[in-house]
Amino acid sequence: MFFAFNIFAILSMGLTKISALFFFKRVFVTGHKWETFNFITKTSIGVIILWMIAFLIMSFFECGTHISAMWTSNAKIAAKYCTHNYPVLEGLAISDFLLDFWILILPIPKVRR
């Protein structure tokens, strides 16, 4: 269950961020192809896609090369190979907060105009 929760949490957080950026792009990009805000939103979408891929790969390799140990019913095998990697989860939480903050402040200059 923990493995599935991690995968779906990373996907849901990333896709929610991407949908907010597409919304900003739809509302605030006025049609100029090389507008700065358009470039920033596209770059932010790329960063979030890379962020999702990186944390998905890290969650798949939580048990090292013994990927099947995550869903085994044998607790000894899971305890031997799988360690809850709290620095990775802490990195996920901190980077998620920073990306959320970036997405929230991104449209402020456009709204102020």
Residues in the chain: 113
pLDDT surpassing 70 at residue 3: yes
Average pLDDT over residues 89-109: 92
- In angstroms, rounded to a whole number, what is the distance separating the alpha carbons of residues 33 and 17? 22
pLDDT value of position 60: 78
The pLDDT tens digits for 67-86 are: 666 666 666 666 666 666 67
Lowest mean pLDDT among 18-22, 57-61, 67-71: 67-71
- Vertex 42: Cα angle to 111 and 56 (nearest 5): 115
- In angstroms, rounded to a whole number, what is the distance separating the alpha carbons of residues 36 and 38? 5
pLDDT value of position 41: 92
* Residue 40, C-beta contacts closer than 8 angstroms, at least 6 positions apart: 106
CB 48 within 8 A of CB 21: yes
Whole-prediction pTM value? 0.82
